[in-house]
Structure 1
Amino acid sequence: MQKHAHHPEELSMITCSYAPDFNRCERLCRSVDRWVSGDITHWLVVPARDLSRFRKLSNGRRNIVAVEDIVPGSFKQLPRSHRWWLDRRAWPVRGWVMQQVTKLSANAVTSAEFIIFADSDLQFVRPFSRDHVVDHDQLRLHRIAGAKNSGEHLSWHHKAADLLGTRRQYFGHDYIGQLITWRRSHLEGLQKHLEDTHSRPWYQGVARALKVSEYILYGAYIDAVVGIDNSGHFSCDEDLAHCCWFREEADALAGGSYPLSAGAVAVLLQSNLGLSDQDEQRIVRDLTASSLSPVEGLAL
């Protein structure tokens, strides 16, 4: 696990990916290099066995590291499987849960205080800079009051409460979205809080959970433990990404009847929509052609 000196003014972007998403990740990287301000470093975190494939995406602002090198606890990916990992006691961990453990290990990836997550199925289509998420040293926190307070989302809140050691509750806001931002210092505080509460490594409770959301866990920690007013975060309920969760939304976006949101700097085409690589490239190409000029000084 890497150790870093703290750099409070920096913003780092982190993408967790793996071999089946390589093509999408490659397109994300191209869009980052075109639209994202060059002072924002980009880190790709992938399983060790996928490193050789992803290394060609490295450049002056992008680094590739292995999941196994930054996540504590000696997790191992099962041979010939992208979906399952084992912890050091041979407890099976599903791949989507392992990705959450990886995001919660982001403080081992970068020394930056400000962290932003960009998923592989996201592509930037408009200029993005630090000013979109930082205001006078306050970092944006995606936080929508009263939203998604039932069903599976409520179960994620209850699991966050269990991990944080509070009564089971809905924490008053939804914290799930795209281009989510965290403070590194609070992530480290969250890890310590989980360990102090349960007297075990922080990652163990997360990895062994059947229902868990890393974004809800962090947001609930800010609201219930730190306090939003003392957190160095400002609350924001607008999404920076135009999200297509269903095929009909992607078709409507492509056809012009579901126009790109005014405040969106990126578009999410959910990876399970059944779109071909050519479909996704065409949609993003058409959006980019009608968008603003790229960030000054970035290569086309």
Structure 2
Amino acid sequence: MSAAAAASHPATALVTSSYRGDLERCRLLCASIDARVTGHSCHYILVEHADVPVFRALEGPKRRVIDERELLPSWLRVFPDPLTFGRRRLWLSPFGPPLRGWHVQQLRRIAMARVMDEAAMVSCDSDVVFVKGFDVGTMWHGEALEFFRDPGAITGGMADHQAWAAKAGELLGLRRQGGDVDYIATVIGWRRDTVRDMLNRIEAATGASALRALAGTRALSECLIYGRFVDEAEATPERHRPTARRLCHVYWKGEALSAEGLKAFTDMIGEAQVAVGIQSFTDTDPRLIRQAAGLA
């Protein structure tokens, strides 16, 4: 894409939902964005109110830290989890079960997509690192945004995915429980207008505010809700261009990677992939990831 074409695409933000425990990984993500990513208007980092001060150091000309209190309803309140002696957090509401941080990170992204000024967002998990140059504008094809869908990827043994897909259908008022299409990726694009239409659909189907309906379940996958809405309910299919390309090569689970293991993993990155994601719960040392990514 030429510089002129890149400048002409609709305004697009990068969005990361994070927390204090991932601060160093998020710092590395920011360094990789600053070094290798172009075409975005701003990078928004969405965090719990108590974490805002420690993330402020990451702010810059094109990066803002957003307090979840600006996004989420006041009835969703965070408390220390007594079962972990306060090391973890719980979000409580009158409308559903206690939610963990990974549930609320999804709610923040959905709420941000509804209120942001940009036409679209590219969501990046905080344990993602960009290892190649990436122009966000390449996700636009005229007025259509790339829409990740991977047919056949949800198989019989993937109970969590099947539960998330079924709940997505329930929230959206769809007749089918769900199929075999996976919509989950760690670097993924959403349109603001589609998110707003999706939330209107949830409110019509459930009779409740969208965030109240979403906060009422722990079987939550925002990617499957967005994906099923686009595939099965959106009235304007021209908004999206389906693609099965995964922008991020992910190490989902296993032992902590050594320097040699990281090199072997990053050497396996696909030609169309621009980032790696080393899941934080593998406890791989962020310093080794930084060195492997050439950002040391």
Alpha-carbon separation, structure 2, partners of 1:99 and 1:39: 21
Q: Secondary structure of 1:226's partner? A: coil
In structure 1, the partner of 2:75 is: 74
Alpha-carbon separation, structure 1, partners of 2:218 and 2:30: 32
1:1-300 correspondence runs (5 A):
9-37=10-38, 39-79=40-80, 80=86, 82-87=88-93, 92-108=98-114, 110-150=116-156, 151-226=159-234, 230-247=237-254, 250=257, 252-255=261-264, 259-285=268-294
Q: Which amino acid is the alignment partner of residue 152 of structure 1?
A: D
Alpha-carbon separation, structure 2, partners of 1:243 and 1:73: 35
Deviation at 1:261, TM superposition (A): 1.5
Q: Which amino acid is the alignment partner of residue 219 of structure 1?
A: G
Aligned CA distance change for structure 1 residues 18 and 108 (closer, same or farther; 3 Å) = same
- Partners of 1:143 and 1:235 within 8 A in 2: yes
| TM-score, scaled to structure 2 | 0.87
The percentage of aligned residue pairs carrying the same residue is 28
Deviation at 1:258, TM superposition (A): 5.0
Q: Secondary structure of 2:29's partner? A: helix
Q: Secondary structure of 2:283's partner? A: coil
- Partners of 2:97 and 2:217 within 8 A in 1: no
- Partners of 1:68 and 1:75 within 8 A in 2: no
Q: Which amino acid is the alignment partner of residue 137 of structure 1?
A: E
Give the ranges of 4+ consecutive aligned residues of structure 1 lying more than 6 Å apart after TM superposition: none
How many pairs does the alignment contain?
279
Aligned CA distance change for structure 1 residues 108 and 66 (closer, same or farther; 3 Å) = farther
Q: Deviations over 1:200-231 (max 9, x none)?
A: 1111222121312110001001111115x624
Alpha-carbon separation, structure 2, partners of 1:231 and 1:182: 14
Aligned CA distance change for structure 1 residues 271 and 113 (closer, same or farther; 3 Å) = same
Alpha-carbon separation, structure 2, partners of 1:86 and 1:186: 28
- Partners of 2:12 and 2:136 within 8 A in 1: yes
| TM-score, scaled to structure 1 | 0.85
Deviation at 1:101, TM superposition (A): 1.2
- Partners of 2:106 and 2:221 within 8 A in 1: yes
Alpha-carbon separation, structure 2, partners of 1:87 and 1:220: 26
Structure 1 unmatched ranges of 5 or more: 1-7, 290-300
Deviation at 1:65, TM superposition (A): 0.8
Deviation at 1:172, TM superposition (A): 4.7
Deviation at 1:184, TM superposition (A): 0.3
Structure 2 unmatched ranges of 5 or more: 1-8, 81-85
Deviation at 1:112, TM superposition (A): 0.7
Aligned CA distance change for structure 1 residues 92 and 255 (closer, same or farther; 3 Å) = closer
Q: In terms of mean alpha carbon deviation, does 232-241 or 82-91 score higher?
A: 82-91
- Partners of 1:16 and 1:45 within 8 A in 2: yes
Q: Which amino acid is the alignment partner of residue 117 of structure 2?
A: S
Alpha-carbon separation, structure 2, partners of 1:92 and 1:73: 15
Q: Secondary structure of 2:11's partner? A: strand
- Partners of 2:96 and 2:216 within 8 A in 1: no
